[in-house]
Amino acid sequence: MIKRLLKGALSCLLALSMGFSCVLAEGEDTTYEGYDFSDTSYWTSLCTGKDVLTSEQKASCSAFMNYMSSRSTELQQRIKEIEAERAQAEKDVLAYAAQVADYQSQADALNGQIADLTSQIAEKQGQIDVLNAKVEQLEKDIETRQAEIDAAEAKIKDRMVVQQKTMRLNKYLDVLMGARSLDEFIRVSNALRNVTAYDEKTMADLSDQIDALAADKKEVESTKKQVEEEQANIETLKQSVVDQQNELLALKYQAQQAEQLVQNKMAELEAQGNTVAGDIANIQSMMAEMQSKLNEVAATAGWSYPVPGAHISAGTWAYDTGGVHLGEDFAAPLGTAIYAAGNGVVLNSADGCGYGYLGNGCGSASGGSWGGGNQVYLLTKINGGLYAVKYLHMLAGTPIAKGSIVTAGQQIGQVGSSGSSTGPHCHVEIFYLGDASNFASYAASWNGDLSFGCGWGSAALSRKCESGVGAPCRYRPEAIFGG
């Protein structure tokens, strides 16, 4: 009987630490056998601690175990429901992630089309520039030809005026009749013939220039028409670019909406029981054996930067696209070193995840958080405070082992893109846990809660240190590392 009750109680206590339905609902009746068990944390600590209990405490703990056991059927049903919800949420995440990938693929194609259209516009603008230069040169040629034609016509007109003044019957006859001999007559006749030939050549040249002028004018009109046609083509191409850009904006909006759904579903997954380290019993045993070493860990003055040279790709407390984001993302090339923020001990470490993608849940099967990939949980004492620092998405094979005592600035892993990740980065979360003097005892009694009592998803936003809540609370990494 005692074993059955103990089993039921411990099942519920484990579920409590996981964030399952043993969390008491508002207004729920928590009295049992004359005791008030509303403060489950107190009774869990009392009844599972190492202190020797008085007879009265033993009786109350027995009642507490009976109370918890009485709720085990409800608990198991809720656990099944949560697992079903998690399974559906994981499917939703993958579906939304596929939508994001599809939108991105379409966006890439549109960007390519826009680039091609822009190139065509530039090419046609170059052709228009050439045509305009041609028009400009032709107009200069026309101006020059017109001046030459005007000069030639003026010269011919002047000669005609002079000739008309000396003309009686015929200007050439007058000249011939004035010859004093046959020889002179022949010479004058030849000279007149040459003058006539010169006039005829001048008129022919003038006619050629007029024809060339007309041809130039015709070519100018044709070239200007080409320019107008190319301008119209450019306007059509520009409108196509605008249409494609509008389509691209619509796609980006759809992608942002889908990505926000992914982030919201991921927050739900984290909130639904994604809180307990996979081998908490071994971790607690390990920490208990390390008590003397833990007591020797010195406090650190100041924080060490986690990923030198990285740039901040996402901040706390939300993504740019919406959705809860509980840490700061340090983007850097694969294999970039990740360093311990301060002196401390590695409470938990998870490894074994390959290169991830948006919606990849790898991490929980290895004892870490869902979607966190390869990860490290560091307990450290800095500036008199006790902190837990969580590092996610590390490169496979690089997370430092649990139980490792580290010093500030020591490498604890490398940047990867494991779990639910769209590119190489390290996600960092910081939890303030109180006074640094509790370092060793906290490590030995840690219950495996990967949120360190600060919750997950939207509920975690109520445990922000900056809002004035006490320990445990979530500390904004940007307040320490900038970004």
Q: Which comes out higher in pLDDT, residue 23 or 294?
A: 294
Q: Residue 20 has what pLDDT?
A: 37
Q: Evaluate whether 64 touches 47 at the Cβ level (below 8 Å).
A: yes
Q: Which comes out higher in pLDDT, residue 404 or 26?
A: 404
Q: Which comes out higher in pLDDT, residue 195 or 141?
A: 141
- Tokens 């450019």 locate to 234
With b meaning 16 or more CB within 10 Å and e meaning fewer, what string describes 181-207?
Answer: eeeeeeebeeeeeeeeeeeeeeeeebe
Cβ-proximal residues to 337 (8 Å cutoff; 6+ apart), any chain: 307, 308, 411, 413, 414, 415
What average pLDDT does range 13-33 have in this prediction? 50
With b meaning 16 or more CB within 10 Å and e meaning fewer, what string describes 308-335?
Answer: eebebbbbbbebebebbbbbbbbbbeee
For residue 165, with 0-12 CB atoms within 10 Å meaning exposed, 13-18 middle and 19 or more buried, which class applies? Answer: exposed
This model's pTM is above 0.85: no
Closest listed residue to residue 225, CA positions, set 143, 132, 121: 132
At position 481, the amino acid (one-letter code) is: F
Question: How does residue 210 score in pLDDT terms, banded at 50, 70 and 90?
Answer: confident
Reply yes or no on whether the pLDDT at 148 is more than 50.
yes
H helix and E strand count, the chain: 10, 14
Tens of pLDDT, residue by residue over 341-359, are 999 999 999 999 999 988 7
Q: Residue 392 has what pLDDT?
A: 97
What is the secondary structure of 60-129 as a DSSP string?
Answer: HHHHHHHHHHHTHHHHHHHHHHHHHHHHHHHHHHHHHHHHHHHHHHHHHHHHHHHHHHHHHHHHHHHHHH
For residue 433, with 0-12 CB atoms within 10 Å meaning exposed, 13-18 middle and 19 or more buried, which class applies? Answer: buried
Q: State how far the Cα of 5 lies from the Cα of 194, in Å rounded to an integer.
A: 139
What is the secondary structure of 347-372 as a DSSP string?
Answer: EEEE----B--TT--TTGGGTS-TT-
Tens of pLDDT, residue by residue over 451-465, are 998 888 788 899 999
What is the secondary structure of 391-450 as a DSSP string?
Answer: EEEEPTT-SPPTT-EE-TT-EEEEBB-BSS-SSSEEEEEEEEEEEGGGHHHHHHH---BT
Reply yes or no on whether the pLDDT at 470 is more than 50.
yes
Residue 441 neighbours by CB distance under 10 Å: 13
Least confident of 11-15, 260-264, 476-480: 11-15
Reply yes or no on whether the pLDDT at 213 is more than 90.
no
Tens of pLDDT, residue by residue over 294-321, are 999 999 999 999 999 999 999 999 887 6
What average pLDDT does range 187-209 have in this prediction? 69
Least confident of 3-7, 206-210, 302-306, 362-366: 3-7
What average pLDDT does range 263-280 have in this prediction? 60
Question: How does residue 19 score in pLDDT terms, banded at 50, 70 and 90?
Answer: very low
Mean pLDDT of the chain: 80
Q: What angle do CA 438, 444, 449 make, to 5 degrees?
A: 95
Question: How does residue 377 score in pLDDT terms, banded at 50, 70 and 90?
Answer: very high
pLDDT > 90 in the chain, percent: 30
Reply yes or no on whether the pLDDT at 376 is more than 80.
yes
Cβ-proximal residues to 436 (8 Å cutoff; 6+ apart), any chain: 299, 381, 382, 384, 385, 386
Q: Evaluate whether 338 touches 426 at the Cβ level (below 8 Å).
A: yes
Q: How are the residues of the chain apportioned to helix, strand and coil, as percentages rounded to the nearest 5?
A: 55, 15, 30
Q: State how far the Cα of 196 lies from the Cα of 185, in Å rounded to an integer.
A: 16
Q: State how far the Cα of 372 lies from the Cα of 275, in Å rounded to an integer.
A: 12
Beta bridge partners of 339: 411
